[in-house]
Amino acid sequence: MSNKADKITAIKGMNDLLPADAHLWEIFENTAQSVVQSYGFQQIRTPIVEETRLFSRAIGAVTDIVEKEMYSFEDSMNGDQLTLRPEGTAGVVRAVLEHNLVYEGPKRLWYKGPMFRHERPQRGRYRQFHQFGAEAVGFTGPDVDAEMIVMCRRLWDDLGLENIRLEINSIGDAEERARHRVDLIAYLQQHEEHLDADAKRRLHTNPLRILDTKNPDLQGIVNSAPKLLDYLGAESLAHFEGVKKILDANAIQYTVNTRLVRGIDYYNRTVFEWVTDELGAQGTVCAGGRYDPLIEMFGGKPTPAVGFAMGIERLIELMKGAGDTAAPRQCDVYLVHQGEAARMQAFIIGERLRDAGLDVILHCGGASGPGSFKSQMKKADGSGATFAVIIGEDEVANNTAVVKAMRAAEGEGQQQTVAFEGVVDYVVDQITCGDDCDHDHGHHHHH
């Protein structure tokens, strides 16, 4: 590795998760998991690699993802066409059908994990990114559509995220969209010379997507375009009204954005996005909707479904802006020692403390030994430990250890010599300091 040009780095747009951020990811994932579990959702994990045709069929040939974003390759063993999953729904639906999961009735499922899209990397847009998502399969709605939305709201609240607003729309069914499409194309053709290259390309393939354009020059044109909502029949409208009614009854605020569509073909009726202004251009943190036609498209019995996917990176960005991002302390007890016999004792005490449910770091030095007491105590301090347990040659000779309080709440600086056998009880006692203690003992529950 002496030659700089030889240095191997991560692939552009694919990020490491470093310890400094790990606790935020843990908070997000744990909170999200407990929220969806409180609605009866169960976890599903599907492979990261699937057959390419799973995605091209589910997502649609004329979408951004299938046109240009998929990481596809040929399996060198057998020539199979494979793709790194760009989203989670297609794999979940494949698994639901393959294992006949809805045989016993509807299912509520959640997933999380990496997704891959060959995009131009920028803030909030990566080539490997992570989604947390949920799919409710076999429910006609609109109650379950509303449940999805309410569940997201609960997650934002639990995470302390305030500036996320909800946009909803209904994109009807295929027939309604077909009628709208005729008028939309005719309208856009009248303005064709003002369209950008992207919009011109989509005019006959995926004109609905033009409504979603981020080009400011096109806003006037798309604002006056025929609205899909005006083409919906009674059933689609009743469904949409049903969703809105539940949202209203639960004091969920939203705006109806008649231009909101999804970039993926399989959606129908309810679509929604959670959007923030705090992340610049990449402001959508969660996107979802109903996809009743998808399962039948895959050869299953007609089975309605609704789901959403959140971009975890974007939500972590919001969490960073929202407040307390300090890493939690690394341990309850830091073990300091000097000499071979003391090291053995420290190791054993560490195991006993962990048996008692505490988080413990045993000081481990470099090639030249553990270092001086002073330098070890510095490490103990930096770990945020509540107590240091110190064992030197004198302590070994007397079968004792010194327990030193490291934090003000525990009587900082105070230290106590304790018999080796009694160290665990003493520390546990001090940390829980009786049932009537109201000190904050950090991130987990001691017994």
Annotated binding-site ranges for L-histidine: 87-89, 117, 131, 135, 262, 266-267
Candidates 106, 242, 263, 300; binder of ligand ATP (CB under 6 A) is: 263
In 3D space, the residue among 291, 306, 311 whose CA is nearest the CA of residue 119 turns out to be: 311
**Among 41, 129, 272, 291, which residue interacts with ligand ATP (rule: CB under 6 A)?**
129
Pick from 35, 17, 24, 44: which is nearest to 101 by CA?
Answer: 44
The sign of the torsion formed by the CA atoms of 200, 201, 204, 208 equals negative
CA distance linking residue 207 with residue 184, whole number of Å = 7
Residue 267 φ/ψ region, left for φ over 0, alpha for ψ in the -120 to 50 degree band, beta for the rest: beta
- Which part of the chain contacts ligand ATP (CB under 6 A), choosing from 31-39, 197-205, 310-318, 337-345? 310-318
Q: Point out the annotated binding site.
A: 87-89, 117, 131, 135, 262, 266-267
Task: Based on the shown chain and the rule CB under 6 A, indicate whether residue 313 belongs to the binding site for ligand ATP.
Answer: yes
Could you tell me the two tokens for 73? Answer: 């390759």
Residue 332 engages ligand ATP in binding (rule: CB under 6 A): no
- The helices-and-strands tally (H runs, E runs) of the chain is 16, 16
d(CA 360, CA 258): 56
Q: Which of 311, 334, 363, 401 binds ligand ATP (CB under 6 A)?
A: 311
Does position 404 bind ligand ATP by CB under 6 A? no
In the region spanning residues 379 to 398, those forming contacts with ligand ATP, defined by CB under 6 A, are none
Three-class secondary structure of residue 86 per DSSP: coil
422, β-bridge pairs: none
Site for ligand ATP in 108-127 (CB under 6 A): 117, 119, 124-126
Tell me the CB-side half-sphere exposure of residue 405, using CA atoms within 13 A: 16
Stretch that binds ligand ATP, among 50-58, 284-292, 375-383, 426-434 (CB under 6 A): 284-292
- From residue 73 to residue 92, the character string flagging contacts with ligand ATP as x (rule: CB under 6 A) and all else as - is --------------x-----
Residue 198 interacts with ligand ATP (CB under 6 A): yes or no: no
Residue 226 CA to residue 186 CA, distance in Å, equals: 10
CB 376 to ligand ATP: min, Å: 42
Contact between 148 and ligand ATP by CB under 6 A: the answer reads no
Q: Which residues bind ligand ATP (CB under 6 A)?
A: 87, 117, 119, 124-126, 129, 131, 263, 282, 284-287, 309, 311, 313-314
